[in-house]
Structure 1
Amino acid sequence: MSKTNHPSGAPWRNFYGRFKGKTIRASQHDYLDNDLAPLSPGPISWDENPDRTPLDLAAVFGDREVWLEIGFGGGEHLLHMAETYPDIGLIGCEPFINGVAMLLGKIRKAEVSNLRVHPGDVRDLFDVLPDATVSKVFLNYPDPWPKKRHHRRRFVTPEHLAPLHKVMKPGAELRVATDIPDYVRQTLEQVPRHGFDWLAETPADWREPWADWHSTRYEQKALREGRTPHYLTFRRV
């Protein structure tokens, strides 16, 4: 029997990032208390959904395409996409509650209606996303885990890429932005092994951002510190 940490049979999953940082302001507590639940894409946690019933995305987004951003940080890029593409349904996943609170404040001000938020591990979301439903996925400046012994903690590993492939539609697009050369290496090594084609044809295809790209705070920090962003585009096959 596999190791579990929940009476319902939830799998044991190590999580190595941060769930909470500095003190959350009173206004952010307001966002979390009043805005987060209505913006949930549905029952995701084992407590809410012990039978792992797939999310009813049609009930949430109608007949819109569904896009997913994994680890949205402060939400700058995710909100930009929601505003730029009002006919698309977007789900953002972020376990760092401070980043979630920041995004909720931005959503309240922008009054977008096509965005849903999961404040937790994307692997839990993969458990309940129906197969072949996501049309585009963004992985922007993921945790680099620079030490070699920590590379297995990166997103671009079989533990994440196999279920990601399962929930994406055939032909769906995966975008990866990173400023870490070794993360580029591991991405180009692992992602094609899990059913994706790299679409680059010329150096400009990974040196220049996408036409609808919105720079994040992590990219701005990388540029200030002299690191070079890479923009990698894959297609699910």
Structure 2
Amino acid sequence: MSEFDPTPPRRNFYGRRHGKTLRHSQKGYLSEDLGSLRPCGITVQENPDRTPVDPATIFGDGRPVWLEIGFGGGEHMVHMAARCPGVGIIGCEPFINGVAMLLGKIRAAGVENVSVHPGDARDLMDVLPDASISKAFLNYPDPWPKARHHRRRFVTPEHLIPLARVMKPGAEFRVATDIPDYVRQTLEEVPPAGFDLIGESPEPWDDWLSTRYEQKALREGRPPHYLTFRRRP
């Protein structure tokens, strides 16, 4: 689990990359802002040898680095960045409409301690060094409700073992979901990957900001569930 693998992986990607037509302002955010916020050396095209990318080169200092996996519309990521200016937050999201929404929120909030990877989180985890992430968030991930699609969920060894490798011992991994079967799979799959369960609650964390996905779940009568894990030494 601790050995860096320089071999460029071949893997499938499931899910949407594009949605409805972007507004003119959103196209502007992508063309004007994404380039300066996007970490270099993440994609296979940019980094075919998969040389490790030190987060210090992303933020330019030795601050703690957090990771948000699938930031949706970006409200939680921007909230945490504003709340914790001494931390650098990398967000991964392959859905370009969500990326455009995040960039608009970054502009509005004026936060500067963020970096945006508009792609698969696995590509980023491929090149992050061991024990380089201090906290990770998985908020309302795609539930893939059909049983034959459960292997596509993030909470599988394909994703969790690389995540465990890049997280510092003692680092916190948070999962929020409104899907009972996703809770079941999370509790089954995350501990064997190298994490201890330290919290399971229907109440959110003290610094939580409710997202559009959570609000939709509440409107439709699906109660949220919050799970907290700690990376095992």
Measured against the shorter chain, the TM-score band is over 0.9
- The reply on whether 1:41 has 2:39 as its aligned counterpart is yes
CA contact (8 A) 2:65 2:133 kept: yes
* Partner SS, residue 208 of structure 1: coil
- The reply on whether 1:235 has 2:230 as its aligned counterpart is yes
CA contact (8 A) 1:42 1:56 kept: no
Correspondent of 1:50 among 38, 48, 51: 48
1:28 maps to 26
Letter in 2 for 1:196: F
1 CA distance for matches of 2:76 and 2:214? 11
Letter in 1 for 2:86: D
Number of corresponding residues? 226
Residue 10 to residue 60, structure 1, CA distance change in 2 (3 Å): closer
2 CA distance for matches of 1:82 and 1:41? 17
* Partner SS, residue 227 of structure 2: strand
1 CA distance for matches of 2:45 and 2:226? 37
2:212 maps to 217
Residues 60-209 of structure 1 aligned to structure 2 (within 5 Å) = 60-61=58-59, 62-200=61-199, 205-209=200-204
1 CA distance for matches of 2:130 and 2:151? 25
2 CA distance for matches of 1:10 and 1:170? 26
TM-score scaled to structure 1, two decimals? 0.93
CA contact (8 A) 1:93 1:120 kept: yes
1 CA distance for matches of 2:58 and 2:192? 33
* Partner SS, residue 226 of structure 2: strand
Letter in 1 for 2:13: F
- Runs of 4+ more than 6 Å apart: none
CA contact (8 A) 2:202 2:226 kept: yes
1 CA distance for matches of 2:140 and 2:150? 15
Letter in 1 for 2:214: E
Q: What does the per-residue CA deviation read over 1:29-84, in whole Å, with 9 as the maximum and x for residues that have no partner?
A: 11111111100122211111111121132122211100000000000000000000
Displacement after TM superposition at 1:27 (Å): 1.0
5+ long unaligned stretches in structure 1:
1-8
